[in-house]
């Protein structure tokens, strides 16, 4: 296995991680996360023969457009023109609605329990009208998929980095919340039990308490997700960037976050690199862009030492259709310094 100054190349990295099952792609909008995720899924399924699911919870129909076939809201579909690749383009608006319902139920029960007579609607508005709510719904769908165990590999075209970061902190909060709820519930129940001498019945009721059941369910799921997301044998977060200042800065920040929570980093993929052309007659524009690009490639090497898994070329056209995905997968599978 050859380690270059950039880092262990993508195929060697994958080959060295036999149990790798969950792959995430993060980065600024428009850098090619969906394209690179698709190429990775194609590589895992076609070259390694692993039954692979690529899923997207983007509000735009990105997988349909990537593979050039209608996958929107169709559930899991085999990608035509592939042998072992499946795609699931999820519509999170239904998850969001389900989620609003759950939150409302919890609030109603909580306020009833705490004996606070207020109108819940404004609280629901506050709880559900913020950008992180959508990300929570997306995350929930993702965790459900991760836990279903039907595929050898799962590729997620957008890593909800900010949410994962929050989630790992949240699992502690859930624990505190749940333990406190159970304790105070038990205390108030046992008082009633003492008064009514029907302790057995009340303990039975406690076990059926919808708020406790729902909280315990969330807690369990959060814990399972946390276990998977921090397991470097099974999970890897990849960060996609262009050879430009802003997308490099974005993933630098992401990487700092995920490192703080021991989320395993798969590495960095530099996308849309203009292949070097050597000619006397380069237009000043191309010459300048090529120069600039060389500077940013160097910057990426310095900022992400030993972490660059692939350097992918800017293709002559967009990555649309299985042929182009396969072409990108081929670039991804180059295992040497001459990656482009
Ligand atoms: N290496 C590449 N060469 C040519 N076009 C690319 C390349 N990578 C991505 N694209 C195109 O750039 C656009 C944005 O890519 P996309 O994967 O949708 O980004 P993201 O998911 O990060 O928003 C798409 O039109 C895609 O086809
Ligand atoms: Mg995308």
Looking at the CA of residue 240, tell me the nearest atom of ligand 1.
22
Strand pairing report for 76-78 and 85-89? antiparallel
Q: Does residue 85 sit in helix, strand or coil? A: strand
Average per-residue pLDDT in the chain? 84
| C-alpha distance across the termini of the chain, in Å | 19
Of 8-12, 81-85, 175-179, the range with the lowest mean pLDDT is: 175-179
Q: What is the pLDDT of residue 2?
A: 43
Average the pLDDT over 198-211 and give the result.
Answer: 69
Cα–Cα distance for residue pair 248/254, rounded to 1 Å: 10
CB burial string 56-87: b at 16+ within 10 A, e below: bbeeeebbbbbbbbebbeeebbebeebebbbb
User: Greater confidence, 22 or 135?
Assistant: 22
Q: What is the pLDDT of residue 206?
A: 67
85 strand-pairing partners: 52
268 strand-pairing partners: 239, 308
Q: Give tens-digit pLDDT for 215-248.
A: 778 778 878 888 888 999 999 999 999 999 999 9
Cα 126 from chain centroid (whole Å) = 25
Burial of 299: CB neighbours in 10 Å, binned 0-12, 13-18, 19+: middle
Q: What is the pLDDT of residue 170?
A: 60
Instruction: Give the Å distance between the CA of 60 and the centre of ligand 2.
Output: 8
Average the pLDDT over 24-28 and give the result.
Answer: 92
Looking at the CA of residue 271, tell me the nearest atom of ligand 1.
1
CB atoms within 10 A of CB 197: 8
Q: What is the pLDDT of residue 323?
A: 98
Ligand 1 site residues, Cβ closer than 6 angstroms: 27, 29-35, 62, 271-272, 312, 314-315, 318-320
Q: Give tens-digit pLDDT for 273-312.
A: 998 777 778 788 888 999 999 999 999 999 999 999 999 9
Q: What is the pLDDT of residue 45?
A: 98
Q: Does residue 13 sit in helix, strand or coil? A: helix
pTM to 2 decimals? 0.85
State yes or no: pLDDT of 65 exceeds 90.
yes
Of 37-41, 108-112, 237-241, 252-256, the range with the lowest mean pLDDT is: 108-112
Cα–Cα distance for residue pair 273/217, rounded to 1 Å: 46
Which mutation among 35, 62, 156, 272 tests ligand 1's pocket best, with the greatest number of atoms within 8 A of CB?
35
The protein residue whose alpha carbon is closest to atom 25 in ligand 1 is 318
Q: What is the pLDDT of residue 3?
A: 46
Q: Does residue 270 sit in helix, strand or coil? A: strand
Instruction: Give the Å distance between the CA of 320 and the centre of ligand 1.
Output: 9
Average the pLDDT over 310-326 and give the result.
Answer: 97
Report which bound ligand comes closest to the CA of 320. Answer: 1
In sequence order, which residues have a C-beta less than 8 Å from that of residue 216 and are 6 or more positions away?
A: 178
Q: What is the pLDDT of residue 38?
A: 98
CB atoms within 10 A of CB 239: 30
State yes or no: pLDDT of 188 exceeds 50.
yes
Looking at the CA of residue 36, tell me the nearest atom of ligand 1.
17
C-alpha distances out from residue 145 to 76, 101, 206, 253, Å: 11, 21, 31, 27
pLDDT category at 92 given cuts 50, 70, 90 is confident
> CA geometry: angle at 25 spanning 21 and 30, to 5°?
155
Of 80-89, 227-236, 252-261, 266-275, the range with the lowest mean pLDDT is: 252-261
Widest pairwise Cα distance in the chain: 95
Looking at the CA of residue 331, tell me the nearest atom of ligand 1.
1
Quick one: which of 299, 304, 320, 310 has its CA closest to 340?
Answer: 310
What are the residue ranges of helices labelled H in the chain? 10-15, 33-42, 62-67, 92-113, 121-128, 131-146, 161-196, 199-208, 210-229, 245-260, 284-303, 322-332
């Amino acid at each position: 296995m050859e380690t270059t100054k950039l880092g262990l190349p993508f195929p060697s990295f994958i080959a060295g991680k036999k149990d790798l099952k969950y792959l995430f792609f993060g980065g600024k909008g428009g850098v090619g996360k969906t394209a690179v995720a698709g190429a990775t899924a194609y590589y895992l399924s076609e070259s390694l023969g692993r039954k692979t699911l690529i899923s997207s919870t983007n509000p735009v129909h990105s997988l349909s457009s990537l593979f050039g076939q209608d996958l929107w809201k169709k559930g899991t579909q085999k990608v035509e023109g592939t042998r072992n690749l499946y795609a699931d383009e999820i519509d999170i608006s239904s998850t969001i609605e389900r989620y609003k319902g759950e939150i409302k139920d919890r609030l109603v029960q909580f306020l009833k329990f705490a004996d606070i007579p207020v109108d819940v609607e404004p609280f629901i508005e506050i709880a559900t009208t913020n950008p992180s709510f959508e990300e929570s719904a997306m995350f929930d769908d993702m965790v459900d998929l991760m836990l279903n165990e039907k595929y050898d590999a799962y590729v997620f075209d957008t890593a909800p980095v900010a949410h994962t970061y929050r989630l790992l902190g949240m699992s502690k909060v859930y624990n505190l919340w749940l333990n406190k709820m159970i304790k105070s519930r038990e205390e108030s129940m046992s008082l009633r039990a003492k008064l009514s001498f029907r302790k057995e019945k009340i303990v039975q009721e406690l076990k059926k308490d919808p708020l406790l059941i729902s909280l315990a369910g969330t807690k369990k799921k959060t814990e399972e997700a946390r276990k998977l997301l921090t397991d470097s044998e099974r999970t890897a977060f990849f960060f996609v960037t262009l050879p430009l200042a802003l997308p490099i800065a974005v993933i630098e920040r992401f990487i700092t976050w995920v490192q703080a929570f021991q989320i395993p980093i798969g590495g960095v993929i530099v996308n849309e690199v203009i292949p070097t052309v050597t000619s006397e007659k380069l237009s000043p524009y191309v010459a300048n862009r090529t120069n600039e690009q060389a500077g940013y490639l160097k910057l990426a090497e310095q900022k992400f030492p030993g972490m660059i898994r692939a350097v992918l070329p800017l293709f002559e056209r967009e990555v649309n259709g299985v042929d182009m995905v396969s072409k990108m997968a081929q670039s991804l599978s180059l295992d040497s310094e001459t990656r482009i």
